[in-house]
């Protein structure tokens, strides 16, 4: 009886010891990961215009040069808009803006909808974002952690 009790106590002690060590290693690992990210972030080059956002509008009818000019002027007069580009072959308007000052929908609602031309604001689907050019996904745990650390240390 005493032998069984002693054996169980030893087992519990061992389990506690293993769990304790696992906790110590987990803490050290997290500290190591954070230090690694901080150093990586510090070394990362500063991006040019990091908050410059692109937006696209597809027109459903061909526009003449005069209308294109008027719409581009109206768009560029919106707060935060930096530039515009119009693809006449496909009737697509692209505009860039500072996302700290404005957003794509507001610019579209204020500058393009009043023009009266049938158009659709292009919105990238979540499925599309799973593909395409290699850019580190911000949705990953590492991406989110890096972004968080970058905000703190930069």
Partner 1 sequence: MKTKIRNILTGFVIISGLIFASACNKHNDDNPALATTPLYDTLGWFIQGAMGPVEGNGTKMIADPDNQGAQIQAGRLAIRTVVNKALGVIAGDPKLAQYFPALLSEVGAGNTTGLAKLLESFTDFVQQATSGQPIYNGKSMKVVHNHATYDRFGSNEHPTADSADFDEFIGDVVKAAQSLNVPNSVIGQLGVALVSVEGDVVQDK
Q: Select from 22, 120, 129, 148 the one that contacts partner 1 (CB under 8 A).
A: 129
CB nearer to partner 1: pick between 65 and 130: 130
Q: Is residue 99 within the footprint of partner 1 (CB under 8 A)? A: yes
> Any alpha helices (H) in 44-110, and if so which ranges?
65-76, 104-107
Q: Which residues in the 17-46 window bind partner 1 by CB under 8 A?
A: 21, 25, 28, 32, 35-36, 39-40, 43, 45-46
What is the nearest approach in angstroms of partner 1 to the Cβ of residue 88?
A: 10
CB 97 within 8 A of CB 45: no
CB nearer to partner 1: pick between 9 and 32: 32
- Number of Cβ atoms within 10 Å of the Cβ of 71: 23
What is the nearest approach in angstroms of partner 1 to the Cβ of residue 136?
A: 7
* 81 Cβ contact list (under 8 Å, min separation 6): 75, 95, 96, 97, 102, 107
Six-digit token string for 38: 């901080």
Q: Is residue 87 within the footprint of partner 1 (CB under 8 A)? A: yes
Nearest to 94 by CA among 80, 79, 115, 75: 75
- Number of Cβ atoms within 10 Å of the Cβ of 10: 10
48 three-state secondary structure: coil
Q: Is residue 136 within the footprint of partner 1 (CB under 8 A)? A: yes
Binding region for partner 1 (CB under 8 A):
21, 25, 28, 32, 35-36, 39-40, 43, 45-56, 83, 85-87, 90, 92-94, 96, 99-100, 103-104, 122-124, 128-136, 138, 147
């Amino acid at each position: 009886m005493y032998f069984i009790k002693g054996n169980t106590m030893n087992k519990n002690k061992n389990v506690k010891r293993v769990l304790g060590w696992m906790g110590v290693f987990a803490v050290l690992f997290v500290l190591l990961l954070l230090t690694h990210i901080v150093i990586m972030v510090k070394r990362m080059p500063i991006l040019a215009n990091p908050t410059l956002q692109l937006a696209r509008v597809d027109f459903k009818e061909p526009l003449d040069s005069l209308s294109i000019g008027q719409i581009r002027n109206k768009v560029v007069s919106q707060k935060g808009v930096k530039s515009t580009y119009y693809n006449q072959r496909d009737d697509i308007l692209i505009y860039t803006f500072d996302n700290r000052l404005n957003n794509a929908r507001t610019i579209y609602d204020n500058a393009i909808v009043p023009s009266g031309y049938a158009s659709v604001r292009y919105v990238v689907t979540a499925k599309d974002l799973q593909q395409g050019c290699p850019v580190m996904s911000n949705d990953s745990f590492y991406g989110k952690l890096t972004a968080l650390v970058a905000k703190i240390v930069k």
